[in-house]
Every structure is written in structure tokens, then in C-alpha cells.
Structure 1
């Protein structure tokens, strides 16, 4: 495997994360201080050569990470007090502290356990069918080892459950955490043969519990799923650290 292919396989980064990192560079280059106003989404898109929609997704990530804040009808402003784990999710070249990710996984487990519990009580037939379709496509992506397709429908599955909770705050929070964790899940689910299918099987257990209206079973299946991804992530971190030590020697 060439050096370039090694880099591609181990450092996937969605476009909006790349743009988020570039916006941070613009903030630093312009010596902007907390409270300073940034260019509009339209101007940032023109400056960075991307669509306004891409900039909007990047701004959502930067808002969630604490780098910027938005004021309706006023604009985008530099914020202070960014979180370490969110910074690591934006800039993959930065060192990652697994304890920050552990805390994020812990938060996600609590959050999605409550979300799936409400979904089990409130999900409609149409929402259940939508989840089933996302699960089918998620499995197709896993069988083809097509990570982009897998992750698209992994997101759709988790977002669909949050939507079925009929709580807009939970939906927004779930989608924010998914964005912050996306590169981490790439490491955890794409690092070993069969790991994508194992994740789909965990999704299947969650879906079956929702379909049967078994809230407690759905909650436990969701916790088991997130714990499995965390375990895989920590294993991959250890593997990479050992590999780095071998390369240094």
C-alpha cells in the first residue's frame, strides 16, 4: 500500500469538517477576537470556493464545538471556550485524548438511550418504515464495504430514531454529536474486517425492539451498540499508538 493510500484509508474527513477547519484558520489569520463578526455564509462560501450549504454545515459544527455563535438576523461571531474533543473532531492532525472521546460516548449513550425510549413509545408506522429502509441501505453499504454509503445510512438510522422521539431538542443534539463523532466512528467501524456488519446487526436489534414496542429492550440494545463502538474505538487508538512506537523504534 502506498503512503497516499494509507493516508486516505485512515483519515477520512467529511467536506464540512474540512471547511470548518479552514474557517478556524481564517479566524486565526485575521487575529479575530471573541465577539468579532465573521463574513456572511455567502461570503465565506465564495472565499473558500464551496456552496453556502456546505458553509452552513461547517458553521453548525463550529457552533456545537464552541468556536463560533450565531445571532439570528445579525451574523456569525467568534466565540470563546472551545471544547478539546470537538477541536479534535475538526482538525484530524491534532492529538486526540481518548478520555475526551470516552466522555462524549458516555454522553451519547445517555442521550440516545432516552431518545430510543421515547421513540419506542411515539414512533409512527411511516417512521418505522423509514428506519427499515435506512437499515436495509446501511446493510447494503456494509456488505459492499462502501464506507460512505454505510455512514450515510448509519446517520439516517440514528437521526430517524431521534426524529421518532418527536422531541426537536433531542433530534438537534443527536445530530450534533453524530457530526462531532463521525471521524471517530470511521476509525471504530472501519478498522477491522466485518466491523461494519457487526454494527448493522446492532442496528437490527434496536430496530426489532422498536418494531415490537419493547422500550426497555431498545434502550439496552442502543447502550450495547454505543458501548461496542467505544470499545472498537479504544482498541484502534491502542493499535495506532503501538504502531507509532514500532515506527519510532
Structure 2
């Protein structure tokens, strides 16, 4: 009876790689939590030892207690749903408009020369400057809030799409022309795969700006939403409520950004990039 030692070694190596992959799947998110958890525990310890009274910056235990109180009363769910609806609607509108105009400007030189200078000038306008104009045009209800968020999302998506199309390697396009690809086939088989990585990045940047713009939007006479919680906490002198709203903003922002990453991952498996190998 003989034993194939190389085969056994290969089986052990495969088992070790599978175990390492499972460990990495759980270790990477845990590593990302290390810094905020360490900071929270450190501040909790500082307040507990009496080195700070924690009045202006409450300890994490008090912030967590505030979140639980809001959750038990049902207020937290109402505010989160209102903010999620505004960000979601504004994000969709901003992505659609930014993708269409960015694609037109990137693909068509005349449109770029006509549209891009105006878009770049509008991009320099601070978000808060749009507030009185949107209130005058659209009122203080949901339409003006969603429009403001859509403006914030529009610009990074527009720039990402246009820049990605303009940066496509000319030699790749020439190969498509050699094979006599139609306009639609050129877009589907060459331009779209080349643009997709930068497009995903622009979506993530746009989503981040959407979360920032929703705060300005909810300053416009909102009676619910996480931005309203911030204003209410500031007016009533409740720093724990302010920090609770900030923490929830951070959690929701990270979760929605992660959803974009997960949704885009199957479309980007063809990439042989440095980050895809875990080198970063």
C-alpha cells in the first residue's frame, strides 16, 4: 500500500487556505472597528475616572442610553425612515441625471464644450446657498429637500462618468473600430467595462455627499429626520442626542456605502488590481 504524500500536502494546503480565507472574512471588519471602539472605550474611561465631567462630550454609555430611549419611544425609527427616504430619493435622481449628462459630455465633444463650463461653475456653489432658492421655488416640504440632496449627488457622478469616458485608452477604442463594432456594441463591450470602476467610485462619493446634504436639507423646516434630531438637541442643550444622531448617521452611511460595494463586486471581478489582491 502506498500513500501519495504530494496529494496529502496539497489537500492540507487547500484546507489552510480555506481556513485563512474564512478568518480574513471576519478579521477585516473587526479590524475596521478597532479604532472607533478603542476611542469610545478610552473616552468612557476618562469620564469614569473623573478626568472630564462629560457634560459637553458625553461618554459612549450615555449616548447609547439616549439611542435606546429614542428606539423604545419609536422616535428613532421614524427619524431614520424619514432620512433614508430623502437620501434614497435624492440619490436616485442625482445618479440618473449625473450619469446621463456625464455620458453625453464625455462621449460628445460639442456637448462637453457647451455643458461642462456651466456645470463646473454650479459645482462651486456651497450647498447651503441652494436652500433659500429651493424653498422659494419648491416650498419647505419634501420636494425641496430631495432636490437639494439630488444636487449634491449629481456633481460627483457627472464628473466621474465624464472623466472615466475621456480616460478610456484610445487604442482599445481603435480595436473596436477595427472590428467594426456598432455604436451600441462599442459602448456595451468597450466603454462600459472601462468606465465601470470609476463609476462605482463616483457613486460612493455621491452617496457620501448625499448624506452630508441631507443635514442641510433637514434644516429646512423638517419635523422629522436625523437632521431634525441634531437641531432639536442643539436647541434644547442635549449633547448626548446630538452625538447619538451623528453616530447613527455614521452607521447608516457606512452600511449604504457597503451595499454599493457588494452590489458592484460581481461586475468588477475581471479586474486584476492591486487592491483586489488584498495588498492594501
TM-score range, shorter chain: under 0.3
TM-score for the superposition, normalised by structure 1: 0.27
If asked which structure has higher relative contact order (CA below 8 Å, sep 6+), I would say 2
